[in-house]
Amino acid sequence: MGTGFRWAGRLSVVLGLGTVCLLGGIALLQGASTAPASPSGDAPVRPAGAVAEAASGTASGRAWTWLQSLTHAPSAVTTPSTITPARDYPVDWTGPVAGSFTLTGVTPPATSSAAVELDAASTSAARTDSFRGAVTGRVTLTPSANRWILQAYRVTNGEARQYPAQALAAADGTFRLDLSGGGDPGSGRWEIGVLDATAAYAPTGQRWPAAAAYTGWEVRSFAVTDRPYLLGAAPARADGTFEFAASAPGRKMFQLVAVGDGRESVLAEYRPSTGLIRTPDGHPEQATAHAYDQALAVQTALVMGDGAATDLLTGGLLRMQTGSGAQRGGFVATAPQATPEAAAPIYRTGGHAVATYALLSAIRSLPATDPRQGPWRSAAAAAIDWLMAQRLAQGPNAGLFTGGWGTDAAPAARIAWVSTEHNLDTWQALDLASSVLSCASCRGAADALQATILQRLWQPAGGFVQGAGPDGLDTVRPLDVQTWGAIWLTRIGRGDLAAVALADVPAYRVTDQEIAGLLAFKPQPAIPTPASTVWFEGTFGYAMAQVRVGDTAGQQATLAALAAGQRADGSFPVATTADPARELTTQASVAATAWFLLAQAGEDPRGLWF
């Protein structure tokens, strides 16, 4: 058995997870959780209350600010202007959309009117879709004899087609156009445009009933699935309103854009937050969220005392939960940040268990009368049910929990292997559920799992093995199975065994780029020469284990040795030097940065695994 399976939260390492979701073929996650998500707007969450230090420039403040920034894709907006839809359109909405924009910090250009004006009576009549008759008005373009041709259009579902009705404007620009002589126009509404007889009958100017519009500005409508798809553009009306006759599946996004001289400037943008925190590598327009990262972010928000962020991030986590079907209650391993409903049905027990623990922690933080208690508890109960369904009933690994479900090639396949890390995570979730949900069966399951872990996955001479398969143990020893294992052993009152689990940590020590930390894997038969690189997430996990076993001085020394690895933006990377064989990169890491804050929290009861 290889070493790739044991990574609970890093799904690119597990099985090369990917998601493809094309506009018009959006595969919505089956019965996505209907538990209400937190309110989400188009502005990132800001530090508040107990997290005032986040604005103070401290290491923890900068790390927390960076994590929060990942709840939104980077924006190229150049002004404080805003654009908002008239209402919150559902993901599956394909009908008309409308909204408005407000200008701030920018001087609008001159306005241009429609090329056609109807008189008052004709305006009223022609706005009625069923109207059949003559209309009168004038062309607003420079009067010119035998030049301007009035052309009628019928618009249905956003598409305009010519209706066989035309009229030649008089020399003074006035006209009379009969809308009754071309036969049945079908469904839709009327529009009237102008063709230039001196320029091969090219359409000229905006068609009636367009309002006055800003010259060179337009409003754009998008549907966001795996990335934003442009659906249409319309001149930016001077009255600050916009509308489009149709949309498409996906989250709705709108921009106000200045166009001209081959350059574009986004003046305002509406991109609703799903509450998901994106992985910073890759193109931000195609960002992916991981359930493990999301759970760590929720737990970090609790430690930081940031109620608004906890609410937003928990809402995002719930968007990753499957609401019906065979995997009801399961948290998908990864999801598109913009459209989590389109996630691939792939599940990992470890990431799910950490997500369940974070959800239970969020519930524990709420007042008893909080209206979120009901839906969040229901979601947590469903998550526990999914978790219990992963327990093996027979075979050499009976009583342990399997790795989950699905790969890119076979989404419906059950994973046969057992990860020690996943089972430690599962015990933590069951233990917390026993108290938060008053779940007696959870207590019994946790106690049974505790005994099985010690019997099957613990070796007195070397600590925890990596896991087990149907054919036997995987005796590779990664760092965090020992450190997370030590935290767990301390929780079950086995400090003696926790000392054994941590006794081999010196074999993982490494210094790279003047930063002292720990390897992901020590040299061992399966990995004889691991790359000399500090793994930040794992080393922060060791710092947490140190404080949990009572070694506060050691925790502080470990954190101090890693401090130089923090980047100017507040993030920590995955590793100091890339290790392709272990799929460790130097990219900024959500998990590493969250673990920094969780390790700093020490024994804060709002932290992870208390």
Domain boundaries, the chain: 4-74+275-601, 82-110+212-270, 114-208
In the prediction, which pLDDT does 462 show? 86
Using CA atoms, how far apart are residues 484 and 69, in angstroms rounded to an integer? 28
Neighbours of 184 (CB within 10 A): 6
Q: What does the H/E/C string look like for 39-88?
A: CCCCCCCCCCHHHHHHHCCCHHHHHHHHHHHCCCCCCCCCCCCEEEECCC
Q: Tens digits of per-residue pLDDT, 410-454?
A: 878 999 999 999 999 999 999 999 999 999 999 999 999 999 999
Query: Percent of the chain at pLDDT above 90?
Result: 78
Cis peptide bond N-terminal to 605, omega within 30: no
Helix or strand run (H / E) with residue 62:
helix 59-69
What CATH number is given for 4-74+275-601 in this structure?
1.50.10.10
Whether the CB-CB separation of 162 and 190 falls below 8 Å is answered with no
**Given pLDDT bands bounded at 50, 70 and 90, which one contains residue 272?**
confident
Three-state DSSP state, 293: helix
Hunting for tokens 């996990």 — which residue is that? 541
Backbone Cα Rg of the chain: 30
pTM greater than 0.75 (yes/no): yes
- The candidate with the shortest Cα–Cα distance to 248, out of 274, 223, 220, 285, is 223
Q: Tens digits of per-residue pLDDT, 26-56?
A: 344 445 554 444 433 333 333 333 444 444 5
With a cut of 50, say whether residue 304 has pLDDT above it.
yes
**Given pLDDT bands bounded at 50, 70 and 90, which one contains residue 160?**
confident
Neighbours of 88 (CB within 10 A): 12
Q: Do domains 4-74+275-601 and 114-208 have the same CATH topology?
A: no
What is the DSSP-derived secondary structure letter of residue 209? Answer: T
Per CATH, which fold does 82-110+212-270 belong to? Immunoglobulin-like (2.60.40)
Q: Tens digits of per-residue pLDDT, 459-509?
A: 998 899 999 999 999 999 999 999 999 999 999 999 999 999 999 999 999
Domain spanning 114-208, CATH architecture: Sandwich (2.60)
